[in-house]
Structure 1
């Protein structure tokens, strides 16, 4: 029990010392609430591992998965020996990798897949493996989904099969 509390405090410190984490799971921004069965902070590798029923919420968005790894960029000018950061700071979030029964839900859409990766550098989410995207009553299924957030561009690939879609013209715009 004490170990779980300590791990939770390490994660809170890691995120708190990270400075402005520009990676967002919600367009609203705001605090990010994280729940998981296990939290492990790998400071030298600038990663936080979350395992077991991971549930991340921010604003009106929710990310659920079996495992999530949060990768942090190195803080400029804060590298110590062997590249470890000084004073426990991580830097900005640069990538979030979710694996195993991944669900991403906002008021506008629901997406699911076996793996999801959010890259801050190009503001994209890529989901792979039995992907489904639902907006209102429209449904698209395939093997690889790429969402370019800023460009509002979505690409769905069928992989070894074909991409499938059901579009309901009567659903709201």
Structure 2
């Protein structure tokens, strides 16, 4: 019965144009927030005073099956500075895991909470299905999320998100 949510979304998209908000399942966008985080970039600036770091140029962050690419990523460490608390990505952000991929202008990843917030021209593709809006939050532990801001859904017949 996974077709019913897709049919409801399609009916909404066809009957009423773009929605204002839509709950979404992101089965591919899941990861273990306790898994190792690997960051590669063209350069790194470390700020000892406030416990932050800035990676710039072709930044790639890998955690389990999830990959985040951006032009710049600011890293905030926790109070003891031994673990990453938040990642602020900007400049052509792409988040990929499995068959799911999301693009946005900016993203904030709260590592311990396993939450990602994407803002600015958000585009999600799940196989042939496409969802767009201005703001998307994803719970990486459960693989669920919400898209807001003139949401537009394009579902291919016979496909499920």
Same-fold status (TM-score > 0.5): yes
Distance change in 2, residues 1:44/1:67 (3 Å)? same
Check whether the contact 1:69–1:97 (CA below 8 A) recurs between aligned residues.
Answer: yes
Deviates more, 1:32-41 or 1:139-148: 32-41
Unaligned runs of 5+ in 1: 1-24, 76-89
Bigger RCO (CA 8 Å, 6+ sep): 2
TM-score, scaled relative to structure 1: 0.68
Deviation >6 Å, runs of 4+: none
Aligned to 1:3: none
Aligned to 2:123: 132
Aligned to 1:79: none
Aligned to 1:119: 110
Larger strand proportion of the pair: 2
Shift of 1:137: 1.3
Partner Cα distance (2:64, 2:142) in 1: 21
Across the two proteins, how many residue pairs are aligned to each other?
A: 132
Check whether the contact 1:117–1:125 (CA below 8 A) recurs between aligned residues.
Answer: yes
Unaligned runs of 5+ in 2: 1-29
Check whether the contact 1:28–1:60 (CA below 8 A) recurs between aligned residues.
Answer: no
SS class of match (2:49): helix
TM-score, scaled relative to structure 2: 0.73
The answer to whether 1:165 aligns with 2:156 is no
